[in-house]
Chains A and B, each alone.
Chain A
Amino acid sequence: MTPPDKTPTSRADAARSLAEAKESASRLEGALSTGEGWWTIDSAALALVIISGALRTGQGVGYGYMLVVLPAAVILARYRRSAERVHPRKYQLWYSMASVWCLVFGVAGGWYWLIWDPQGPRPVWLTCAVALVAALPLALVGGRLVAGSRSR
């Protein structure tokens, strides 16, 4: 039988290997980007403005307004991409879900108003509340990055 100190991987080797890997993993986990987090929060804020504005004004004016603000969303997305560093576990899933939620909620909300209430008055508090529900998950995803990068 092979004695422990003659094996290719001794206890000391194995322990050192695990310790080094653990240290590297901890360092990488801490390399979250505050910038990316803030750009994501900014994107959520912009979505809030777009959706609440579009719902309030409605129809052609609303969509025209959306087209004006849309380039800002593209610029924000580019800044966010350039600030990307390490993404915590499940980040991509949460980010995608939050983005889809924002889009679907905004479009569905707008569609509902166009179909069922084309000319009716739209109280500011209601349109803002709908926009907030749409944009909040995205803001939370960004906030998670900011909080994660500051806590380490």
Chain B
Amino acid sequence: MSPANFRDDMDDLVHSPVRFSLLASLARVDSADYQSLKEALDVSYPLLSKHAALLNEAGYIRVQKTSVGGIGKTRYRLTNKGRVAFEKHVRALERIIDGRAFTVHGSESPPTSRKLETGHQRP
């Protein structure tokens, strides 16, 4: 398989570092609040809002806004569509790391495995 095939498996929407980290984080939990997510990703509020809005528009995450005692609270949850897209992207990245995406002279040695837990058992 050529590198182009692996690139095809990669989702442009997921590929951004912030969005990829956001999806990876949400894949490991049930749901998370805005503040915790901001601290875990170590990004600014506007940046998190911007990337979360893009993922929400694509249907990859679900944003739930509530008010508790007059204080607004926002929670994020990964959707099934988002989980599928994320897992597909992770698999493509892992194939690249394993060297299976590159067939040029077979010069590179197999790297160490860096599996990212997606929260789902793969078949």
Contact = CB atoms under 8 A, between A and B. Distances in A.
Given A1-B103, A8-B7, A9-B93, A28 B33 contact: no
B119 interface: yes
Interface residues of A, number: 36
Name A's interface SS: helix
A3 B114 contact: no
Interface residues of B, number: 50
Contacts of A31: 32, 36, 39-40
A89 B30 contact: yes
Contacts, number: 131
B114 A28 contact: no
A91 B73 CA distance: 18
8 contacts: A1-B104, A2-B4, A7-B7, A11-B99, A27-B39, A28-B40, A86-B33, A89-B28
Interface of A: 1-4, 7-11, 14-15, 17-22, 24-29, 31, 78, 81-82, 84-92
